[in-house]
Structures are given as structure tokens and as C-alpha cells.
Structure 1
Amino acid sequence: MLRRIGTTGLLVIALTACGGGGGTAGAEPTGGKAAPPARTTTSAVPSAAPTPAQSEVQRVLARLTTEEKVGQLFMPVLYGTTAGSASGENQARYSARTPAKVIAKYHLGGVILFPHNVKSASQVVGLTNGLQRASAKVPLIIGTDQENGLVSRMSALMTKFPGAGDIGDTKDTGLARQVAKATGEELRALGVNLDFAPVADVNVNPRNPVIGRRAYDDDPKRAAKMVAAAVKGFGEAKIAATAKHFPGHGDTSVDSHTGLPIIKHTKAQWERLDAPPFEAAIDAGVDAVMSAHIVFPKLDPSGDPATLSKPILTGLLREKLGFKGVISTDALNMAGARKKYDDGEVAVRAVLAGADLLLMPNDLPKAYKAVLAAVKSGRISEQRLDQSVTRLLTLRHKRGFLTEAPVASAAKASDVLRSSAHRKLAAKAGG
């Protein structure tokens, strides 16, 4: 059975001081009569005092302007192998030539790295340190897709571990945990602090063109155990993990990079086939969950992909599964996200649906301006914006870089990357 939580736990409460109407609505008594209006008296029960972590997040949030808060939601691809690399691609896309200038211009909260950013370990360390220096008020979330196996953006530098399907074949959750921990240690040594892994989809369709062996198993319960183990392994390496692709991309025959898949599972089938690995990831303390650009008519009949669906991201992931962490979109430059709306509207609708991190917008200037305009017009409330920024700041606090950017070391990276212990683990895992 899926967890149900009370109304006070649906969303992380924004940690800003709001005047007046910030509380939840009064619940109706069991007798069915409406409760009388609440009165403010000196004997009113005070709200719980914020924890030290919440207070620290609140202090950082309070320093940010609206423009800076909007920038915190975005994680684009940047071009260059150093923070100061001049690139025509950056100029064409962002009207700023270097990664450092793009970060400053849009107040970016994150950057995702791809093989074009990678030449050597010392170079990547220099890149990530330089990117962090370019971020004025808040350390960057620097992410990559290092699932191992088929999707391994840092494979030129890192230990070659087998992918999830091969590890799933072993039925050894301890091995899944060890490989995730080792992967996280190597990423952390390079200055990466978030991995878009593990895949929490269940490989229920052998014709699936995009998931397949990227998933741990075709059995939901076995996949769930592996996903939970991997999340714990990443946590032990002190790197943020991301379960993907919610609500479940395992039963598609269309690639969401090039089209818009439709999954015809009933809600009961979703609960049995797709939900268990995501539940397990949440129970294991996963930092983020990535949405899928898939239409799931029995979960939301609107025809919008899950990335833009409030019933799916807020109704299911937040309210039913009780997830309080960061919701990331899948890449917003994929066809599955852009079929119905333009690049600005896609970003706005993703935030309204419940997303916190807008990954790889197809047109960052247009998306940034659209979200900022939606906040200023009230279409996206300041409270809603603060909720997302609060979650992103809380992730940083949890992983130890809220107020001080992590500094990677080339010497440390040399010791960790492809270490003897990691190569032995890879051999044990079949890599």
C-alpha cells in the first residue's frame, strides 16, 4: 500500500517570514459541522521553532532577490573546459561567452556536466572549482548523469562499473550499495555533488528504447531493493542521489527524447508495477526525484506529460508518497516536454506542477524570463517560488555545501579515481 500523509506534510514550508495567512486551513470536525473561525489570542499555540538547519536555510533564502531565486531553479548545459573558456556556443545560446559569465548573468543554481566538458581529472577539478567561484551567493549544485553502463558521462575518467541491469542480475543489494558509494566518491573527488542516478524505473517492456538495462530489474520488488541500496550508497559518499524517471518510464515503446510516450497502466497497475522503487528511494532518503516526459492518462487525463502535471508531481509524488526533497525535471530540451507548449511556458508549467529544478531548458533566456514574469504577475506565487528554493538550499545543507562551496583537489582525485579498491569492486561486479 502507498503511504498517505496529512495536509501539514504535503509540501516543505517556505522558511521565509510571511505576514498573516501562512497557516493551513482548519480541519472540519468529525461531526461534520464547520469549525468556527480561528481567533488570534495570546494563548494561541506557537508554531514549532525552526531547527538550526532550517534557520540556516532561512538566512540564505532571505539574502536572495526574486531574480536570484528564479535563477536558482535552472541547471543548463554550459560549454567549455574551464570556467573562463570563451565559447561561441555559450554566446549563441546565452549571450555570454564563458561559463562564469552565464552563471553570473542568470544567477544559476546549478550546472550539468557532459563529456564535452571533460578532458582530464585535473581539468575537471579546475572547471568545477572555477564554476563554484563564479557563483556569488550560493554554491552551485553541479550534476551529471553517471548511472554507469550505458549512461556514463564521466566514463573517460572514472572506474568502469557495470550498469544497473548487470548489478540487478546479481541480486546482491550490498553490491549495488558499494558501487553507488564508489561512484559517488569518484564524482565528489571531481567536484560533482549530485548524480542523476539511480534509475528507479522497472524494465517491464522489452521493447523499451530508452530504459532497458538502465533499470535494475523487471520485478518491482527486486528493483526497489536495489534502488534503496544505491541511494544509501550515494549517501555514504556524501553525494546527492536522484531517483528517475517518475512516475515510471519502464513500459514505453517511444523514446521521450524524440516523442511523447503514453503509458496505459491503470492506477492499480502503477501502484504495483511502477511505484515501489520510488517509494523505496524515498524511504532510503533520496535527495531528488526526476520527472518523466510521459503521458499517463489514468494518473492525469489532461494529456500533459508528467513533468508538467500537478496531479502527478504534487498529487502523487508529494502528497501520496510524501516526498519532501527536490523534484527535478528531465531535460527540458527533449521532444516529450516540448510537444504542446513553447520553451517559456514549459518552464512555467513545470514549476506550477511542482518541479523545483529545471534541467537543461531548450532556451534558457526565454525560460528564465517566462518564470520571472510569472512570479511578478502572481501566476507563480512568491510562496511557491520560495518552496522550491528552500528545497534546493536544504539539499545543499544536507550534503554540506549550503554556505561554503566544496573545493575539489587534483591530488585527491588522482588517489580516488580508478583506485585499486574500486577496480577490484568493478571486477567483482562484472565490470
Structure 2
Amino acid sequence: MPSRRTVLAATAGLTSALTAGAPPAHADDRRLRALVSRMTLEEKVGQVFVSRVYGHSATAPDQADVDANLAELGVRTAAELLARYRVGGIIYFTWAHNTRDPQQIADLSDGIQRASLQQPRGLPVLISTDQEHGVVCRIGKPATLFPGAMALGAGGSRADATTLGRLAGRELRAMGVRQNYSPVADVNVNPANPVIGVRSFGADPGAVADLVAAEVEGYRSAGVAATAKHFPGHGDTAVDSHTGFPVITHTRDVWETLDAAPFRAAIAAGIDSVMTGHLLVPSLDDSGDPATLSRPIVTGILRERLGFDGVVVTDALGMAGVRTKYGDDRVPVLALKAGVDQLLDPPLLDVAWNAVLKAVQTGELTEARLAESVLRILRLKAKLGLLDEPYVGQARVGRTVGARDHLAQADRIADRTTTLLVNEGPVLPLSPRAHPRLLVVGADPASPSGTTGPPTGVLAAALTELGFTATALSTGLTPSAATIAQAVTAAGTADAVVVGTYNVTAASPQRTLVDQLAATGRPVIAVAIRNPYDVARLPSAKAHLATYSWTDVELRAAARVIAGAVAPHGKLPVPVQRADDPTGVLYPIGHGLTY
């Protein structure tokens, strides 16, 4: 591994004195500009790309990952990727086998830095990931997993949001990840939103703005670049930009009061990067282009009007929302012309890289414009300490990732987020003396990284630890008549039934499951493990809780509330509409019971 002195020499003696949230000192900026001026055109092109790469190792991935790299990227390893394309960033994914465990992640990060710095005029790589917590996590246990954004919205604590950013940031930095694509700054005002939902802090723009800013402050204190997404706001859509092209119909005035507030707050808090959304907002740009490719939105609004001069990164360029109008060779060029700095995960890196190179060579894109983005990226790398200390090593990982006090903080935060919506009787809290035998049934969706097993099993285990005898029975997202009958039979020997529900619709057989369990006469406690809107369609349950995710930390907190070990404190961060009249509100923002 090159020494610190070698690294500094490789970066032209740059030791940044940049302070968090402050503009670069003139002398340091002059050195960075000099560094940019010595780069070849090909090196500048590489710096604006953030690529995926398969494998747990930078030089010796498994054969299946070598094959995937060859098929998609034309290289065998991360080291070859850096040698060929000189990319400025790499993003980690679970499905790309980058995130097996903390020690491996740290080794991969160091291997990537070593491979990049060994190149002529080599620069450290800005390694990123999507560690939102809640339903989107790329790094699982033993790393600390915190409640997700909407759960934090239910807790309503700025201090908790800051704590999450600070502790999660420390763990990411210990593993070599210096840029996190979080927090989500979208205001989720559409209950039918298929892609944001509980990833948002809520539906009130002021509350979302406060929590976004607080989380940004936490990440900044940990030396990790937070990323506010998805500008100009993805909260009011019924289309997923991964698979379609969302259209936001907000007027300019509505956008100013609703969508813009969290991004303004993030910028005021010193956000280092902002991610664009692949969505159409005609009131902001009537060209028909997605925001990622819109100069009026990226440059005119984000940079000039809101005053953001940090790094602008696209959402992943393989998503349908950015590919519906232009080909993969045009998208990266148009994004740079719009004012973007980092091009995230193009589906065909070779096509995208050569398209940008050709655009500069033909004059469509000036080299000066490209250099502006490279300079912003280098400023961020300098600010994060990458030009001084790009390596992390193993020692810090063991001391930091999944530290006992971090895990305890996550549990305490979760205890403040669980929301009790209904409690007839009251049924809750249950006691092992009055209700010793519990049946836990319900949906077991695919597990995010923050889980150790199916939600029914995790919840049953947590209740058993609290003194109950809890039995788990997975009934799935769409329970059959036979499965429902099995659950009803099992309820006959239980004193109460806990049902985990997942995004219940009007036609969902989950409704039949709850109704038939309630008909047994046993108390039924419904726990909405994703969106909190399920309560409107399940009137037969005697009690309703919302956890906003099915990760272990949130399910354990729900168990403590059910058992009365802690009182519920969460308040709805979004309104719940009536099932029979979506224009009417069943439970408003701020609703939440306690005992």
C-alpha cells in the first residue's frame, strides 16, 4: 500500500484545508485548478463517471463477477476498470457482491484506491452507496441499521436525525465509503407513490426540511458527503422512474412551497451533493426533457436560483425515466450540458464514456465545461480528506462498525417512532400473563439488508424474548384461501394474533385474512410494516401499529410497544385517507395514540 507521503505526491502535494460547508480557500482552489489543467482529456472524462463494478475484491473477484464485469463493462476487475476508464467514482451494491461484510468492504475500498493511485497522475476514488436505512440499505448487519426516513418523520426529532447521520456516517467512512446517496428530500404527498413512500420523511414540507437538514449536519460531522435526492422532487408521482417516466404536475408556486423547501434546507445546511430525478416537471421546463437533462432546472434553478455550487449527480442512468427520449450515447452529454457533474452508473459505460469524449472533441461540449465539473468533484474529494488519507485499513472497522453504543442508539430512536393508530378496548399493551400465547402471521416481503429473517419470524422472536410464547406463520403478500384457513385454525390455540400487513389494497386477500382472524374472537393487532395507509382498509382489527419498515430495529421496537415495555410515541408524518372516500382524511398528520 502506498504511504501517505506517496499519496500526497501523487496528488501534486495537495493537502486540503477545506472546512465543512465553507467555500474552498483560494490557495487550495488554485492548486486544484492546476491539477485539473495537467490532466489529459481522457482523465477528465473519467472523473465525471461513477460506475458499478462486480465483486468483493478489486483484483480477485469470484469468477461469476469476472464474467459479469466482462459482459457489462468490458473489464475483468475494478482495477482494470480504473486503468481503462479512470473513473472518478464507484458505487457499491449488494447485488454486485460489493458488500459482504464490513472488513471485506474496507479491503475492497482500499484495493480500489490502490489501483487508482497506481495509475499515472492517479487520484483517489469517491466511493458511494445508497444507505438510506429503512427499506433501502446496501450494507447490512453487523453494520448498524437505523429506522428509515418516514419512521424518523414519525419520531419528529431533529436530534435523532442528526444522530443517525453522524453514526451511520462514521460507519460508512470506516469502510471507505465517503459519499452516501441519502437523505431523500422528496415530500411524499401521494399515497400511491410506488418508489418513494416510506423513503420520505413525510408529507409536510416544513417537517421534511427540518429532518433533511438535521441528517445532513450529522453526515457532515462524520466527514461523509450526504446527497439530497431527487431534485426537483419525486414525492407526488404514481410512476416509478426506474420503470417509467413520471410527470409532476405541480404549478411553479406549488413547487416553491412544497417540493423546494427540503432542498433549500439541505443547501443551507451545507449539503455536499444533490441528486437529480428522472422526471418531467412542465412548470419548471416545458421542453419535455427529464430534470436530469434540463438546463433550466439543473443550472437555472438548482445552481443559479438556489445557489448550490456543490456536486450534482444524476440518478442511475440505466433507469427508464432518463432513457425514454434519448439514447444512451446522448444522455450523458446532455446531462453535462444541463449542469450535472457526476454521471451515475450508465448502463453501457463504454458508450457513455466515448460519447462524452467525442462531444468534447467535436466542440459540442467544451473542455472548460468538463473541467468545471472535474474541479467540483476534486473539491469534494479534498474536503472529505481523500487527497490526504484515501485508505481506511481494518483497525477502524472493528472499533466503529456495529459498535455497541451505535446499536443501542438505533434501538432508542426506533422506540420513538412506532405509531399506535387504533387501540380499541384498549387491547394494547398485551401482557404475558393475560395473553401468553401469540400467533404472528402476515406478509413476508423480500428482506432488506437490515433484517435477519422474515418479518413474522423476527417479530415472533422479539415477542418471545419479552415473555410471550409466540409462533410465526408466514401467510405471504397474497394469502390463498388454504393459507387463510391454516392461519384461522392456528389462531384457535392463541390468546391474541399479530398480523404484519404490507401495502394493503382494496382487492388484497390480506383484508380477508385479517377479517377472518378477527371473526375468531381473538384480539387482532395489525402492524403495517411498510406504508401506514393499511389501517384504512382493515377496520376489523382491534389495534393498529405502523412501523414504516420491516427491518429488525423497527420490528423489535414494535414488539416492545405491543408488550408495553415502551409506550408508543410516534405521530403520523403523512395523512391517512379514508378507504371509501380518498378525498377525506381518516387520520391526519400528527395522529398517534399512547398509553
TM (norm. structure 2) is 0.63
| Distance (whole Å) between structure 2 residues aligned to residue 85 and residue 132 of structure 1 | 15
Say whether residues 1:62 and 2:37 are aligned partners: yes
Give the Cα separation in 1 of the matches to 2:228 and 2:192: 22
Letter in 1 for 2:101: S
Question: Does structure 2 conserve the Cα–Cα contact (< 8 Å) formed by 1:143 and 1:193?
Answer: yes
Change (3 A) 1:268 1:279: same
Aligned to 1:422: 406
Partner of 1:411: 395
Q: Separation in 1 of the partners of 2:361 and 2:125? A: 25
Q: 1:299-357 CA distances to partner (integer Å, 9 max, x unpaired)? A: 01111110011110011100110000000000000010101111110111111111100
Q: What SS does structure 2 have at the residue aligned with 1:281?
A: helix
Q: What SS does the corresponding residue of 1:428 show, helix, strand or coil?
A: helix
Paired residue for 1:164?
149
1:276 lines up with 2:225 in the alignment: no
Q: In structure 2, what is the Cα distance between the partners aligned to 1:94 and 1:208? A: 33
1:76-125 CA deviation, whole Å, 9 max, x = no partner?
Answer: 11011100135011111222111100111001000000112122222111
Root mean square deviation of aligned Cα:
1.2
Asked whether 1:375 is paired with 2:375, we answer: no
**For each residue in 1:272-311, what CA deviation from the matched residue of structure 2 results, as whole angstroms up to 9, or x when unmatched?**
0000000000000000000000000110111111001111
Aligned 8 A contact 2:295 2:338 in 1: yes
Within the alignment, does 1:328 sit opposite 2:313 as a pair? Answer: yes
Residue among 113, 118, 143 paired with 1:132: 113
What is the letter of the counterpart of residue 344 of structure 2?
Answer: L
Q: Is the 8 A contact 1:264 1:298 kept in 2?
A: yes
* Aligned equivalent of 2:284: 299
Q: CA deviation at 1:404?
A: 3.5
Q: What's the secondary structure of 1:148's corresponding residue?
A: coil
SS at match of 1:290: strand
Distance 1:238 1:63 in 2: 28
Does residue 95 (structure 1) correspond to residue 104 (structure 2)? The answer is no
Equivalent position of 1:179 in the other structure: 164
How far is the alpha carbon of 1:409 from its aligned partner? Answer: 2.2
Answer yes or no: is 1:290 the counterpart of 2:268.
Answer: no
Q: CA deviation at 1:405?
A: 4.6
Residue 5 of structure 1 is matched in structure 2 by none
Match of 2:383 among 394, 398, 405: 398
Give the unaligned 5+ runs of structure 2: 1-23, 415-552, 554-595
Partner of 1:79: 54
Q: Which moves more between the two structures, 140-149 or 114-123?
A: 114-123
Q: For residue 114 of structure 2, what is the amino acid of its counterpart?
A: R
Q: CA deviation at 1:388?
A: 0.4
Q: Give the one of 87, 107, 113 matched to 1:108.
A: 87
Query: 2:150 and 2:362 mapped to 1: Cα distance?
Result: 47
Question: Shift of the alpha carbon at 1:410?
Answer: 1.6
Contact in 2 for aligned 1:139/1:405 (Cα 8 Å): no
Q: CA deviation at 1:134?
A: 1.2
Which residue identity is paired with 1:340? K
Q: CA deviation at 1:60?
A: 2.1
> What CA distance in whole angstroms lies between the structure 2 residues aligned with 1:119 and 1:214?
24
For 1:127, the aligned partner's letter is L
Q: Is the 8 A contact 1:132 1:405 kept in 2?
A: no
Q: Which residue of 1 aligns with 2:327?
A: 342
Report the alpha carbon displacement of residue 50 of structure 1 after superposing the two structures with TM: 6.8
> Equivalent residue of 1:392, what SS?
helix
| Deviation at residue 428 of structure 1 after TM alignment | 1.0
Q: 1:405 to 1:62 in 2, by over 3 A?
A: farther
- Residue of structure 2 aligned with 1:353, choices 317, 338, 343: 338
| Superposition misfits of 4+ residues, deviation over 4 angstroms | none
Alignment of 1:96-245 (within 5 A): 96-115=75-94, 116-135=97-116, 136=119, 137-245=122-230
Return the letter of the residue paired with 1:131.
Answer: I
Aligned equivalents of 2:80, 2:198: Cα separation in 1 = 39
3-state SS of the aligned residue for 2:353? helix
1:376 shift after superposition: 0.9
CA deviation after TM superposition for structure 1 residue 416, in Å: 0.7
Contact 1:166 1:216 in 2 (8 A): yes
1:180 and 1:397 mapped to 2: Cα distance?
20
Distance 1:227 1:85 in 2: 39
Whichever residue aligns with residue 252 of structure 1, its letter is T
Tell me if the contact between 2:102 and 2:143 (Cα under 8 Å) persists in the aligned partners: no
The amino acid of 1:132's aligned partner reads Q
Cα displacement string for residues 236-263 of structure 1 (whole angstroms, at most 9, x for unaligned residues): 0001110000000000100000000000
CA distance in 2, matches of 1:235, 1:53: 20
Q: Distance in 2 between matches of 1:56 and 1:200?
A: 34
Percentage of matched positions with identical amino acids: 48
Q: How far, CA to CA, are the matches of 2:341 and 2:40 in structure 1?
A: 17
Q: Secondary structure at the match of 1:255?
A: coil
Query: 1 CA distance for matches of 2:142 and 2:244?
Result: 32
Conserved? CA contact 1:139–1:404, under 8 Å? no
Aligned length: 382
How many Å separate the matches in 2 of 1:152 and 1:257?
Answer: 17
Q: Deviations over 1:52-96 (max 9, x none)?
A: 221231232122111000000101110111001350111112221
Q: CA deviation at 1:358?
A: 0.2
Aligned partners of 1:405, 1:338: CA distance in 2, in Å? 38
Stretch moving more, 409-418 or 219-228: 409-418
Structure 1's unaligned 5+ residue stretches are 1-48
* TM-score normalised by structure 1 residue count: 0.87
Contact 1:53 1:397 in 2 (8 A): no
Contact 1:162–1:429 (CA<8 Å) still a contact in 2? yes
